[in-house]
Amino acid sequence: MSAVYINSASCISVQDTLNENILQNLKPENSIQILKAVEPNYKAFIPPTMIRRMSKTVKMSSVASHYALQEAGITRPDAIIVGTGMGCSQDSEKFLKNVIDNQEEFLTPTFFIQSTHNTVAGQIALGLQCHAYNFTYVNTSSSLEFSFLDAQLQINDGEAENVLVGSTDEQTDRTMELYRLHNIIKKETDLPSDYLNSETKGVIWGEGASFFVVGKEKTDHSYARLKNIHINNRLEVDEVEDFIHEFLTKNNLSAENIDAVILGFSGDTDSDVYYTKTMNIFPNSALLYYKHLSGEFNTASGFSTFMACQILKKQQIPEIMFINAVKKEEIKNILLYNHLAGDDHSLVLLERV
């Protein structure tokens, strides 16, 4: 497939990522079990009568998509593609609670209707009066990557020129409670978390929404060229090197050509070994990490993609993201590697425009 361009990037996260000076204002957090997103003033974007009926993920996505489209100078995209791991969890929990409280009788359908995973893409389309291709991917930690692949196909096949691509996930009290019980979230006794040298299981959980406009043509606003994506559901630790080398070879690159590698270290001792193994492949590249800034969640790679876009455009890497001491005069190629708990491994290659 031909490369496409990321012409705008917007993100709502546990950082103040709507701020223009985000690279200078990043604040790591390693001592709280669950990180909440910094939410904007929704009333400036959504009518008050609609806000109370929207779940957090719909509200975050509506604002993030608004900024992405505004930056790209597009009123109505040719397609809307959204990736999410958990969907509208808040409304799902409300519906299930209704089922239990009412003993499965006299149920109102509202929460069920709003709980489906494609609610986000649908609400954005309704707000824009966009009747074009509308699709939602639910593939845990590779949901955004599958969305990008679909956007690439739509553009390469001549079905679209500008595609709104996004990822979003929210937290809910009951789900977080279950995650604690299953030790997915770190125990309080294991905090603060050492993201790079952890000896304990579990992660600090976050949330957020990231949206991008992917286009056929390069524009004055372009952040990066989306060159290629590769996804593998299952991977053994000793297969990581071949997984990455094959991807680089397919793109006519070697490890020496990669200026920066963004790794998804989460502080979980069992699954971070994949990233530790990857570091050995890139001795001369700037090695970066980001989940101490975003927390772990299904579509955390949206935050890393947003940061990679900022780095490529501004040619600056925040000190807080460095793992090693390698610094490049020019950052041309960035490789993003992510997985969730050792499953759904994804590689994304971005190039400076």
- The pLDDT score that the predictor gives to residue 110 is 72
For the chain, which residues make up each domain, given as ranges?
4-215, 226-351
d(CA 303, CA 64): 12
**What is the token pair recorded at 91?**
């409304």
Q: What rounded mean pLDDT belongs to the chain?
A: 94
- Backbone φ/ψ region at 267: left (φ over 0), alpha (ψ -120 to 50), beta: left
Strands (E), the chain: 4-12, 79-83, 133-137, 162-169, 208-215, 224-232, 260-263, 286-289, 333-340, 343-351
Same fold, 4-215 and 226-351: yes
Tens digit of pLDDT for each residue in 54-90? Answer: 889 999 999 999 999 999 999 999 999 999 999 887 7
Tens digit of pLDDT for each residue in 19-50? Answer: 989 999 999 999 999 999 999 999 999 888 88
Tens digit of pLDDT for each residue in 218-254? Answer: 999 899 999 999 999 999 999 999 999 999 999 999 9
pTM of the model: 0.95
Local confidence band at 98 (pLDDT 50, 70, 90 cut-offs): confident
Are 27 and 87 in contact by the 8 Å Cβ rule? The answer is no
Q: Is the pLDDT of residue 1 over 80?
A: no
Positive/negative CA dihedral, 227, 137, 151, 318? negative
Query: Residue 263 carries which side chain, given as an amino acid letter?
Result: L
Local confidence band at 340 (pLDDT 50, 70, 90 cut-offs): very high
d(CA 279, CA 140): 24
Tens digit of pLDDT for each residue in 6-15? Answer: 999 999 999 9
Tens digit of pLDDT for each residue in 289-328? Answer: 999 999 999 999 999 999 999 999 999 999 999 999 999 9
Q: Is the pLDDT of residue 265 over 90?
A: yes
* Residue indicated by tokens 């490890």: 255
Q: Does 3.40.47.10 match the CATH number of domain 226-351?
A: yes
Q: How far is CA 197 from CA 27, 138, 194, 256, 269, in A?
A: 19, 31, 6, 26, 8
> Which CATH architecture describes the domain 4-215?
3-Layer(aba) Sandwich (3.40)
- The pLDDT score that the predictor gives to residue 106 is 75
Local confidence band at 95 (pLDDT 50, 70, 90 cut-offs): confident
Tens digit of pLDDT for each residue in 177-215? Answer: 999 999 999 999 999 999 999 999 999 999 999 999 999
Strands 333-340 and 260-263: parallel
